[in-house]
């Protein structure tokens, strides 16, 4: 993600977080994987953040290897992370 952001001349905030949720399921007698990537980039415009996430997903070697085999959904949040006491 850093490389894609740098190409777009965007400095990622220090609070950038990627939370991955992966499910193992079954379908048609076989197993399947699916993933949700929840990305938080506080202070970055939503469209810019989404473009960075989409670009990183296209360039990631793992994403390329599993493209078409694993359903991946990305969710981008740009609001500041709430402080938890």
Q: Which domains does the chain have, with CATH numbers?
A: 2-77 (3.30.300.20)
- Measured CA to CA, the distance from residue 37 to residue 24 in angstroms comes to 15
Would you state the torsion angle of the CA atoms of residues 15, 40, 63, 60, taken in this order, to the nearest 10 degrees?
-40
Total Cβ atoms within 10 A of residue 76: 19
pLDDT of residue 66: 86
pLDDT of residue 83: 58
Q: What is the mean pLDDT of residues 30-39?
A: 93
Q: How do residues 44-70 score in pLDDT, each as one tens digit? A: 999 999 999 999 999 988 888 988 888
Percent of the chain with pLDDT over 90: 73
């Amino acid at each position: 993600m850093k490389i894609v952001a740098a190409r777009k001349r965007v400095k990622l905030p220090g609070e950038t977080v990627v939370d991955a949720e992966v499910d193992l399921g079954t379908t048609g007698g076989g197993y399947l994987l699916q993933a949700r990537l929840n990305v938080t980039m506080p202070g970055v415009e939503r469209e810019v953040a989404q473009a960075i996430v989409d670009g990183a997903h296209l360039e990631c070697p793992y994403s390329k290897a599993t493209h078409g085999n694993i359903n991946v959904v990305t969710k981008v949040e740009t609001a500041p992370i709430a402080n938890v006491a």
